[in-house]
Amino acid sequence: MNKAREMTLIAALFVLSCLLKTTTSPATSAYSGAWMPASSVLYELRHLGVRALIRYDAEATGRASADFGNVSDAQPPPAAVLYPSCPEDIASLLRASCTHTSPFPVSARGCGHSTRGQASAPRGVVVDMLSLGCHASGSATRLSVSVDGRYVDAGGEQLWVDVLRAALAHGLTPRTWTDYLHLTVGGTLSNAGISGQAFRHGPQISNVQELDVITGLGEIVTCSKEKHADLFDAVLGGLGQFGVITRARIPLIQAPARARWVRLFYTGAAPLTGDQERLIGVDLGTAVSGLMDYVEGSVVLADQGQVGSWRSSFFSEADAARIAALAEEAGGVLYCLEGALYYGGAALAGESDVDKRLEVLLRELRYARGFAFVQDVSYAGFLDRVRDGELKLRAAGLWDVPHPWLNLFLPRSRVLDFAAGVFHGILRRDGGTGPMGPVLVYPMNRDRWDGNTSAVFPEEEEVFYTVGILRSAVSEGDLGRLEEQNEEILRFCEEAGIPCVQYLPYYAGQAGWEKKHFGPAKWARFVERKRKYDPKAILSRGQRIFTSPLA
């Protein structure tokens, strides 16, 4: 950015910061989202020539206030939205806030897939990260693959599905993913990024070589394990508290061509989790250790309905009927092991090898005989499979509804207690309506996670489980009931002495974060990093971790 343009932007942002100081209180129209800045202020900013960079209108701020969760938590809307053309625009915004006597909140927003307003900036400025990709061209591209270096440089606003396509064009792929690829690179790296490959390669935050980060001080820093390592570790899994990720360097490996997609049904939690742990125990030396490249699982309730069974297109109508009958026989609850075996491509064995691996799996695993289902699909098709489910739900009008999700990490020693109390108890006591959404359950190996990052996960045992209760409130009254049910699940864990950590966490205030999420030692480190990289608590106030400058 040239000096004149930067000074123009800073001047405009100074006016904005003054405006934010005078925003009406939560009891007035600002709280309801109806507030608009005075016409004189609008005129002054337009006169400064930043109309394309900053918007204050209700359409822009309303869109920036919305997210996938669609669960109102009564936070005030942003006062403005910044549409950056380059990282320096974001840095200028943060410097303008940081140097002002009343710093205003700033939050980076990608595709808006947060669930409780975490990407909001109450009475502040939301940065529309996707705007960065709209301005890139030629040598300034925001997504580039180094074939010789075996890495991809991706802007923080880039979607993982586009990272996949760019890498596959060279026969390469990142090692680990999220289940849903239409998320931004910066968004998942600010959390952890998990899927069925995390047992082998760790989460996405364990597969990053380098980052470009803009701190809460407005400083642009390139960091890695070798350079500015503390910032690098802080930002990964840092919930947007320490900086805005504008570039990530992701290592690549040789890509497979195909996936043998497998689903096996179980009538109990114990045989499912036992088999899952054998599969992810890559060093255990059992007959099935490491045979699958992808290992997940889900809970299937007999009365899930369309939202809960959107993956059912995997099965024929006759097979779906048999599965439903088996669920009834099992008391209304089935378990499904979902996995994949990759093959083909320049560096992997061919179809005959995958046939042998599958033969061993079907012989050794303890699923209900007659309930094994297999498909062959492309590697890219398997990784992007959730997109098909999304399109079906959109067509049925079931996508843009409230999503009161609850995601937990549990130690392996208590997963069966959790299954008995929640899957067979709380979720089945709800008037026969089922959970109205997928329920995922699968294990990961702790040694694939880096304890130096900001991500919080169980560290007491070598294996821990993720449980994702991914509900949709499709009818009137569902939202309140499902939120109450989430609270009941958390109370059950507390009363039963089941230690759990929220993934994609939400707490109403700092006390919950300190006591329930981080614990004393991790909280102290988190606060120290915040004091170092964002002492004015400008970034990501929508998370409700820090809402005022640190002393």
Contacts of 302 (CB under 8 A, 6+ apart): 324, 327, 328, 332, 333, 334, 434
Q: Annotate 157-168 with DSSP letters as a single string.
A: T-BHHHHHHHHH
Distance CA 145, CA 249 (A): 10
- Which ranges of 105-259 does DSSP label H, i.e. alpha helix? 130-135, 160-168, 185-189, 198-201, 229-235
Q: Which two tokens stand for residue 272?
A: 């499912």
Q: Determine contact, residues 168/380, Cβ cutoff 8 Å.
A: yes
Distance CA 293, CA 384 (A): 16
Distance CA 73, CA 135 (A): 33
Q: Which helix (H) or strand (E) holds 356?
A: helix 351-364
CB neighbourhood size of 78 (10 A): 30
Radius of gyration of the chain, Cα coordinates, nearest whole angstrom: 24
Distance CA 96, CA 28 (A): 27
Strand partners, 341: 260
**Residue holding tokens 């039963």?**
496
Q: Annotate 449-471 with DSSP letters as a single string.
A: S-TTSS-----SSSEEEEEEE--
Query: Active-site residues: which are they?
Result: 113, 179, 296
Contacts of 279 (CB under 8 A, 6+ apart): 199, 288, 289, 290, 291, 292, 295, 339
Best CA proximity match to 200, nearest among 258, 273, 254, 280: 280
